[in-house]
Amino acid sequence: MFAMQLHDIFAHYHAPNVRYKHVAFSSKNFSVLKTLQQTLPEILPDYEIWDEFQSEHAMPTQGCSRFDFLKQTFHHTKPLLIFYPDAWLRHWSLQDQQAFWAQLSTQYGGKNIVVLFEETHDFTKQNNHYFLPNKLPNTEITLWISTKNTLAD
C-alpha cells in the first residue's frame, strides 16, 4: 500500500549526500503502526530491530539510563529500527526524553536509525525544535524529519 512511498523516503533521506539521515514514523492508528512494523523490516532487511515485546537482538534493558541508551543506539554496529521507544523513554524525565530526540535529530554519521512510535500531541509539542512532521499522502502516517534537513535543503 504505502511501500513505494517508504522506498522513496529512504532513497532520499538515506542517500550518501544527506547529512541528517535519521527519520521517524508515527500514526495515531494502531493498525497502521502494526502494518508499518511489518513493512519496515521487509524494506530494510539489514536493519537490526529493537522492540520491547520481541527482539532477536541484544538491546538496552527497560529502565536503563538515557546515557546507556544513547551509547548503545548511536555506537551500534548495524542500522537500527526502533519500535515503540516509549518502552525505554517512559522511565526518563521529560528533559532526558527531549535529549534523546534532539540527539536523534542532530546526529550525523554512523548507522541509520529509523524509529516507529505512537503519535501524540505531546510529542509534537515537545519536539517541534528537533523534528518536523510530514503527513504522507493518502495515509495515516506521519514522517518526522530533522529540522536540520530543512536548513540544509
pLDDT in tens, 34-55: 999 999 999 999 999 998 766 6
Who contacts 31 (Cβ-Cβ below 8 Å, separation ≥6)? none
Whether 79 shows a pLDDT value over 70: the answer reads yes
Give how far Cα 78 sits from Cα of 18, 56, 134, 149, Å. Answer: 18, 14, 26, 23
pLDDT digits (tens, 9 = 90+) for 83-138: 999 888 888 998 999 889 999 998 887 789 999 999 988 887 778 788 999 999 99
The pLDDT of residue 56 is 65
Rounded to an integer, what distance in angstroms lies between the CA atom of residue 145 and that of residue 6? 13
Give this prediction's pTM. 0.91
The pLDDT of residue 54 is 67
Is the residue at 10 inside a domain? no
Who contacts 57 (Cβ-Cβ below 8 Å, separation ≥6)? 48, 49, 50
Is the residue at 113 inside a domain? yes
Rounded to an integer, what distance in angstroms lies between the CA atom of residue 145 and that of residue 153? 12
Cell of 117: 512510535
pLDDT digits (tens, 9 = 90+) for 6-35: 999 999 888 888 888 899 999 999 999 999
**How many domains does the chain fold into?**
1
Is the residue at 11 inside a domain? no
Is the residue at 87 inside a domain? yes
Whether 81 shows a pLDDT value over 90: the answer reads yes
Question: Residue 137 belongs to what domain range?
Answer: 33-55+64-152
Is the residue at 3 inside a domain? no
Is the residue at 68 inside a domain? yes
Is the residue at 94 inside a domain? yes
Helix (H, G, I), strand (E, B) or coil at 122: helix
